[in-house]
């Protein structure tokens, strides 16, 4: 990159006009068997322009129905043969942001990128991105797969530690980020823009260097893992997508072998000359992530209920008139996505009902009406929500005044913190009951779809333990109760063949 362009990119950004839904598009990967999951995301999208990449050509009737929801559906074939360890749609998953950019051109500022079971909190995203320059080439996420080398004192030798999210994953901070990151496991540099060279220059521990010559390069499987987490999602700027030739990126993805679509896009992004950026690695005192709300080193076999209850608890607090400050307010303003891991639900109905409750609570907090799906609401669950909100409103801490002897701000803050913790404990307990009712009233489908047949009810003690871990990570006290195969040709979504992505496609619709 020329010095003049680098200097231009690094200039202070004033924030521009207030962001609106028109400044965003969403790019979602799905397939024929998971369409209902993708369609349920309409509850949080609310008409947001959305590009969905699937593995078959829809009928004209289907396409016309979907257009009413602001959706453009495109067909992109499954991988034949597989070149990943995961799914035959992995190339499609990695390419969907570029397919979307080709379709929308320069008509947006930010692109929300995720799986069909990724839930975005658009209000928080708008607030966070208001002060980031969309012309800067940003790939924003703080939820990374990473392999670190750690010394095992018991065994007396080094061992590999691979998990997600990982606090030591090499990431940049946004351009002109003002906080000191030297105390982090990886001292994140200001990315103006974020590049492999910049990350390597900040690498004081040699985690990105390999080989006898000490050449810096992206760690790759099987010895290392360095990848964004696809289910956690990411936010991409138009400035990034306009800079990477789409045809080159497709060639890179379709000739790469790795663990999955999220690894494909991470590898090829690095090869294109860009790294990934954490919006604010110091945002949470307990190290929770913004993308796929949760603590460091989550396990994929964990039950989903405690994490959903933590997020739903914040929304219930806010709907009841609480969540005015403390951890709840911080999280409500900064939680960007929740990966609902649809495999963890006993049925499609249970998954969609959970999405509905989260979306309607978000809308209630924001003071806007909620859209409806064709699937009927569960009146019993709605009644539980209302009763829970009423119970929280009746709790003494929502109306209690600070003690008259709170003469110092420090004592007042302590009182507020105790009250916030008690409020969150009660709200999480309400959320646990709501989620339990959703699971009980929507048991395994008969016959079960292949994708949903494996989920079973976790042991209550396991739920309680996981709830404690999440609450402790947030600095709170936990409550004890607490595809049909695709064709070979690419379609433009109107069942008309189109050519594969061409290089440097800009603004084509």
Which run of H or of E encompasses 71? strand 71-75
With a cut of 80, say whether residue 199 has pLDDT above it. yes
Rounded CA gap, 394 and 431, in Å? 16
Query: How high is the pLDDT of residue 500?
Result: 37
Rounded CA gap, 214 and 407, in Å? 59
Report how far Cα 495 is from the mean position of its chain's Cα atoms.
Answer: 31
Which run of H or of E encompasses 158? strand 157-163
Q: Are 132 and 174 in contact (CB under 8 A)?
A: yes
With a cut of 60, say whether residue 78 has pLDDT above it. yes
Rounded CA gap, 5 and 11, in Å? 10
Residue 403 pLDDT level (bands cut at 50, 70, 90) = very low
Q: Are 456 and 304 in contact (CB under 8 A)?
A: no
Query: How high is the pLDDT of residue 327?
Result: 84
How many CB atoms neighbour CB 417 within 10 A? 15
Query: How high is the pLDDT of residue 451?
Result: 55
121: DSSP letter: -
Query: How high is the pLDDT of residue 369?
Result: 86
Query: How high is the pLDDT of residue 456?
Result: 47
With a cut of 90, say whether residue 13 has pLDDT above it. no
Average pLDDT, the chain: 81
With a cut of 50, say whether residue 359 has pLDDT above it. yes
């Amino acid at each position: 990159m020329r010095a003049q362009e680098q200097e231009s990119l690094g200039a202070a950004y004033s924030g521009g006009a207030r962001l609106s839904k028109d400044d965003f598009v969403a790019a979602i990967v799905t397939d024929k068997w998971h369409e209902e999951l993708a369609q349920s995301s309409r509850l949080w999208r609310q008409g947001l322009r959305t590009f969905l990449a699937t593995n078959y050509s829809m009928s004209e009737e289907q396409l016309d129905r979907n257009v009413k929801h602001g959706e453009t559906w495109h067909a992109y074939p499954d991988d034949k043969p597989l070149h990943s360890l995961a799914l035959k749609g992995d190339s499609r998953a990695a390419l969907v942001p570029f397919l979307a950019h080709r379709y929308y051109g320069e008509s947006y500022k930010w692109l929300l990128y995720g799986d069909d079971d990724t839930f975005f909190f658009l209000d928080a995203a708008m607030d966070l991105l208001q002060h980031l320059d969309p012309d800067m080439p940003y790939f924003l996420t703080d939820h990374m797969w990473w392999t670190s080398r750690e010394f095992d004192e018991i065994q007396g030798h080094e061992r590999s530690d691979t998990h997600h999210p990982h606090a030591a994953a090499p990431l940049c901070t946004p351009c002109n980020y003002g906080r000191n990151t030297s105390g982090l496991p990886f001292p994140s540099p200001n990315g103006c823009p974020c590049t492999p060279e910049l990350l390597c220059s900040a690498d004081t521990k040699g985690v990105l260097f390999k080989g006898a010559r000490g050449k810096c390069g992206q760690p790759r499987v099987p010895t290392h893992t360095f990848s964004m987490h696809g289910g956690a999602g990411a936010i991409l700027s138009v400035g990034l997508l306009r800079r990477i030739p789409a045809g080159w990126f497709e060639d890179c993805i379709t000739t790469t072998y790795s663990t999955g679509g999220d690894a494909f896009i991470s590898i090829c992004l690095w090869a294109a000359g860009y790294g990934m950026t954490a919006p604010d690695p110091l945002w949470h005192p307990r190290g929770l992530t913004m993308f796929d709300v949760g603590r460091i080193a989550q396990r994929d076999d964990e039950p989903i209920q405690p994490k959903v209850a933590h997020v739903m608890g914040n929304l219930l607090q806010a709907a009841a008139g609480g969540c005015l400050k403390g951890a709840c307010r911080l999280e409500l303003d900064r939680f960007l996505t929740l990966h609902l891991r649809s495999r963890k639900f006993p049925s499609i109905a249970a998954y969609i009902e959970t999405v509905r409750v989260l979306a309607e609570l978000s809308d209630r907090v924001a003071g806007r009406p909620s859209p409806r799906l064709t699937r009927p609401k569960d009146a019993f669950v709605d009644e539980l929500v209302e009763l829970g909100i009423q119970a929280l409103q009746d709790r003494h801490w929502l109306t209690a005044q600070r003690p008259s002897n709170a003469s110092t701000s420090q004592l007042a803050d302590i009182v507020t913190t105790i009250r916030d913790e008690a409020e969150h404990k009660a709200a999480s307990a309400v959320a646990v009951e709501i989620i339990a009712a959703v699971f009980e009233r929507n048991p395994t489908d008969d016959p079960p779809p292949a994708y949903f047949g494996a989920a079973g009810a976790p042991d209550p003690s396991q739920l309680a333990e996981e709830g404690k871990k999440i609450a402790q990570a947030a600095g709170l006290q936990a409550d004890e109760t607490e595809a049909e195969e695709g064709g070979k040709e690419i379609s433009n979504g109107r069942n008309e063949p189109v050519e594969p992505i061409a290089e440097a496609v800009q603004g084509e619709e």
